[in-house]
A and B are shown apart, each in its own frame.
Chain A
Amino acid sequence: GAGVSQSPRYKVAKRGQDVALRCDPISGHVSLFWYQQALGQGPEFLTYFQNEAQLDKSGLPSDRFFAERPEGSVSTLKIQRTQQEDSAVYLCASSWGLALNVRDTQYFGPGTRLTVL
């Protein structure tokens, strides 16, 4: 079946603009994650949903970052008043979740590369 998809693939924003990044997880996956990957670094956790509930948002770097998953499927990561330091690749991942060993395997989308000028 289809994998995790993200849109847009590339986004250029002027400093101060708001942006919205979309993630379509694998159908039926309960858990959804957002990660931020700076150039030359490994991905870093931002936030985690189980169905529509946001269970962990400890990785969001500031209150300018907001994520939602209102119907337990598609998720949107919103960044308000973008700053240059927000430039990164934003990765979405999903899994069956429910702590059932191999069903915890996370599958990643292709990412959205955000450049803030």
Chain B
Amino acid sequence: GIQVEQSPPDLILQEGANSTLRCNFSDSVNNLQWFHQNPWGQLINLFYIPSGTKQNGRLSATTVATERYSLLYISSSQTTDSGVYFCAVDLDFGNEKLTFGTGTRLTIIP
């Protein structure tokens, strides 16, 4: 099956810092989503981004489908950004089951 790897596995930053999270996948994908899982366990949609670049406030994401990777950028980090960030992909046009990456645990220190 497809392999989805994220790096770094853990990241500790001071409030206000910027960060880049990476997601590599081993096969062509139909869909890619980025999620933030907050400390209470809720998975929050950040981006639906099978290709190209999107921005939403302090967050932006870029997927280069031909090179099989995606990047999530977080600028001016806040403590509320803490949690685990997952990328997830689906392979099949018509079956949207997601395969999740290994996750990046982000901790923002005040």
The answer on A and B forming one complex is yes
Using a CB–CB cutoff of 8 Å, the interface residues on chain A facing chain B are 31, 33, 35, 42-45, 48, 55-56, 59, 89, 91, 93, 95, 97, 99, 101-102, 104-108, 110-111, 113
B45 engages A42 (CB within 8 Å):
no
Query: Which residue in chain A gives the minimum CB-CB distance to B35?
Result: A108
Mark each residue of chain B from 77 to 110: 1 if its CB lies under 8 Å from any CB of chain A, else 0: 0000000001010100111111111110000000
Q: Using A56-B95, A99-B96 as known contacts, say yes or no to A105 and B33 having CB atoms under 8 A apart.
A: yes
Overall SS of chain A's interface:
strand
Listed A/B pairs (5) with beta-carbon separation below 8 Å = A33-B98, A42-B100, A43-B98, A99-B93, A105-B33
Contact of A42 among B41, B90, B97, B103 (CB under 8 A): B103
A89 engages B41 (CB within 8 Å):
yes
B45 engages A110 (CB within 8 Å):
no
- A75 to chain B minimum Cβ distance, whole angstroms, is 15
Contact of B41 among A55, A102, A107, A111 (CB under 8 A): A111
